[in-house]
Amino acid sequence: MKKILTCLLVLTLSSCSDLLEEVPQDTLVTSIFFRTQSDALAGMNAVYGRLNKNMYNRIFYLYTDEFTDDGAAGIGVNNANIRAIDNFTHTPVNDRIDLAWQEHYDGVNRANEVITKVPLIAMDTQLRDRIVGEAKFIRALLYFNLVRLFGPVPLVLTPTASAEGIDVEQASVEAVYTQILKDLTEAEAVLPLTYSGGDVGRASKGAAKGLLAKVYLTRQQWSLAAQKCKEIIDSKTYELWDDYAKVFQVGTENQKEVLFSVQFASGVSNGNSMMVLSMPRGKVPGLTGNEADVPTDDLVAAYEAGDRRKEVTIRNSLAVGSQTYTFTNCFFKYYDPATFGNSADSGVNYPILRYSDVLLMYAEALNEQTGPTPEAYALVNQVRQRARNGKTGILPDLTGLTKETLRTAILKERRVEMAFEGQRWFDLIRTGTMIATMKAHGKTNVQPYHVLLPIPQREMDTNKKLKQNTGY
């Protein structure tokens, strides 16, 4: 039922009276808030609320999927800034890049409010610790995105109270990662293993462990990454669905396979609008689609014959009643049949961490340490076996590979398993294959400095302590 989103709407409505009170115009925080346990919960819901607005509702995957060999700007894209990103001609003056920076730092500020103010509230101590742990998890997630997208960034750990004194120097990449690991370790210690009822969807202990594993993998700390993945597996909390499609269906998406996802719900102004931008334009009567963000032929060809994941992720036909309509390949992973006439209101969540990701991270970490092992093969093959969807003679188990060829096989498996889930760009950067991959894909403008986005020019003009990334 995704009550967490309903709570966010209640927060928005209940805080309207506070907004009517006169306060200094440059004040960005609410001094009259964070007094009660209810305030603490509402404040945390506002942190989650930042995720399902622009950030993970198209903006994020512009850089992490459409930037790559998986996605392209389709016929519905008229924004020159998006075309520039797609063609590697983007500059610091780009509204999409500017928005990514703003959205992340607004989320950081909301998390900082909770982390700073909730400990001062007289309330149930276990709940208080949990809420602060949730906020630390989200702050770590946001800084993990920022440091991977922009490199050295300002490390702001207290609420920004006014428009004055906001000039902050960029912290080193190492300092940002140190804070990320601190936040995640502290969150892991206090977050519950599971939730029930309306709390399902909040950050859990497994989510913290999973993000720790991904951070360690990014930092090439293979042993620590493997350790965290093993802890998740040994917890017996998660397992793969028999059918890949269940990960992306409203009735089952918050269940056994997902460690953490951005919550969406249709009918309450919190729908996933990615689909309206991705589905066919004017080719299926009654279906709203703009065909702006589309899969590449290269991604389509990456799926092996019979792979169930392809038909869940990409379609070129749709049955409506007794009629089947055909169209050029379109991205369909977050399609919600219940919102056929309003694709901008899909109720399908956006996964940040899934169990299959953990299995593949574990396999990669083991392979990087010792080369192919029976355990590493078993982990990858578990993901491939699910993709068969009960069929035989397809997607054979991997075996007989070298360390290098297994590394390549795992990267490909991650690509088809998690297409359009914000993983591809970071996987290419992490494995040092971005330049070669994008050049092979025909993106001749790509340069080594494109591993990072430019610091938005608006931020450079506002904060004179910022230094632009090399190449921009």
| CATH code of 119's domain | 1.25.40.390
Among residues 322, 348, 374, the one where a domain terminates is 348
DSSP 54: I
What is the average pLDDT value for the chain, to the nearest integer?
92
- The three-point CA angle 23-28-30 to 5° equals 60
Give the up-direction half-sphere exposure of residue 363: CA atoms within 13 A in the CB hemisphere. 30
Among residues 296, 315, 348, the one where a domain terminates is 348
What is the arithmetic mean of pLDDT over 434-442? Answer: 97
Hey, what are 306's tokens?
Answer: 């019979």
Q: CA gyration radius for the chain?
A: 22
Residues 53, 157 share a domain: yes
Residue 390 binned pLDDT confidence (cut-offs 50, 70, 90): very high
Residues 176, 324 share a domain: no
Residues 26, 168 share a domain: yes
Domain assignment of residue 426, yes or no: no
Length of the chain measured in residues: 472
Flag whether pLDDT at 343 surpasses 60.
Answer: yes
What is the arithmetic mean of pLDDT over 156-168? Answer: 78
Domain assignment of residue 65, yes or no: yes
Domain assignment of residue 142, yes or no: yes
What is the arithmetic mean of pLDDT over 127-148? Answer: 98
Among residues 348, 371, 393, the one where a domain terminates is 348
The domain containing residue 143 runs over which residues? 3-191+452-462
Domain assignment of residue 197, yes or no: no
Residues 331, 185 share a domain: no
Residues 278, 161 share a domain: no
Domain assignment of residue 130, yes or no: yes
Q: What is the pLDDT of residue 5?
A: 47
Residues 152, 33 share a domain: yes
What is the arithmetic mean of pLDDT over 309-322? Answer: 96
What is the arithmetic mean of pLDDT over 445-457? Answer: 97
Residues 151, 40 share a domain: yes
Give the percent of the chain with pLDDT over 90: 86
Q: What is the pLDDT of residue 428?
A: 98
Residues 317, 185 share a domain: no
Q: What is the pLDDT of residue 165?
A: 52
Flag whether pLDDT at 55 surpasses 50.
Answer: yes
Residues 147, 15 share a domain: yes
| Tally of structural domains, the chain | 2
Between helices 374-387 and 355-370, what is the axis angle to 10°? 150
Residue 66 binned pLDDT confidence (cut-offs 50, 70, 90): confident
Q: What is the pLDDT of residue 355?
A: 98
Residues 297, 178 share a domain: no
Check: CB of residue 140 under 8 Å from CB of residue 93: no
28-37, 280-289, 293-302: lowest mean pLDDT where?
28-37
Flag whether pLDDT at 164 surpasses 90.
Answer: no
Domain assignment of residue 360, yes or no: no
Residues 283, 179 share a domain: no
The whole-angstrom separation of Cα 247 and Cα 224 is 27
Q: Which long-range contacts (CB under 8 A, 24 or more apart) does 278-282 make?
A: 278/330, 278/331, 278/332, 278/334, 279/330, 279/331, 279/332, 279/335, 279/343, 280/318, 280/325, 280/327, 280/328, 280/330, 281/74, 281/75, 281/76
Residues 185, 93 share a domain: yes
Flag whether pLDDT at 454 surpasses 80.
Answer: yes
Domain assignment of residue 361, yes or no: no
Domain assignment of residue 309, yes or no: yes
